[in-house]
A and B are shown apart, each in its own frame.
Chain A
Amino acid sequence: MSDTATIPLWDAIGALIDLGESPPVNANGDPILEQADPQIPGRRWPRFHRGVARNNSKGSAPPPGYFLLGMVNLTPAGGYNGETGEDGTVTVHCWAATPDDAERLYRWLHGLLHDQPIAVSGFGHPFGNLSKSGPTPDASGTAWQVIAVYTVDPEDA
């Protein structure tokens, strides 16, 4: 695997996910994202992870119900830098225990990000568009993801 790097766009999307109100709930009305960490009383799993999602104590993945921020599509010039005319794409993997919950995570994310201004430090407020693929199961069939593709419109950056 290639190394990933934190870039302003990741930070901006992560901040929005962190602050997003009315977090998504499943068909029973239970929260999909807000899960307690059984190993550390009082601690909750974060809503999103950057590039890699691991339970450090055991090396396993957290329980499904999180966003995993993906790679930026690199340009020959070295990747998204938020400057006018530069486009950039970030994938946000919506992992949940069922296909329906993964769809609900995506819909919540869509309301948060699609066609909304996003503050990328030092580069103004570009708008982004969200599209999706999935849901698809993981190799074990115990978790499902919808892949959200967030594309910054170079005309808006």
Chain B
Amino acid sequence: MPDHKVSPIEALPPASRAYGEIGPRSDKPRWGLVIDQERCIGCWSCAVICKSENDVPLGGWWNRILTDGDALDQPRSERGGLEMDWLPLACLHCENAPCVKVCPVGATYYRDDGLVMMDNDRCIGCRYCMIACPYGVRTFNWGRPERPTPHETGMVEARPVGTVEKCTMCVHRLAEDQVPSCVWSCPAQARVFGDLNHPTGRLATLARQSKVLLEGLGTKPSVTYLPPRRKREL
């Protein structure tokens, strides 16, 4: 085994590294994500790479793709026909996050860039946050992690058992100017990441056209959705 270890970002081939760069941002970024539901094909690539990147054990998913339909990948009857859309759902990193408010030990908190974080060393496993979250995106790690591989995988350390886990927006990647892994790996190019505070940036532009999930709750998520386009019959 070589003793010399390197950052997986620094070890990227140049073309790959350039692909993943976050791009222009303001002096004080607030990270956001827009998901294009027209482009989303429900393939779960974003969810699978999340599981791999973050070493999420069997039984847990930080990121899932809901079918707006009767069952997984099954359409709904609507307007005399069939329709189906997908809704990728992970932590929406709300500006007004119910989970932060209910945490009795301050284990859930805001970063300066607006991301909602978990401090798993503080978490006491009470799971109030899971009940408070209106989007159901938090998971609880019940026991010793089980994996299909005999070894730990991914790019972050495993969390202490008996704590709540969720999407971190891959902060460990942001630190090296790389987009979250779900954004990198979306084959349909349905996910756009960037700085909501950079007014002329692509992300901010798209965010203005996008819709907020359960807007009436006033959670102000940093992750929003571009709804499916209107179809044009023959």
Q: Do these two chains really belong together in a complex?
A: no
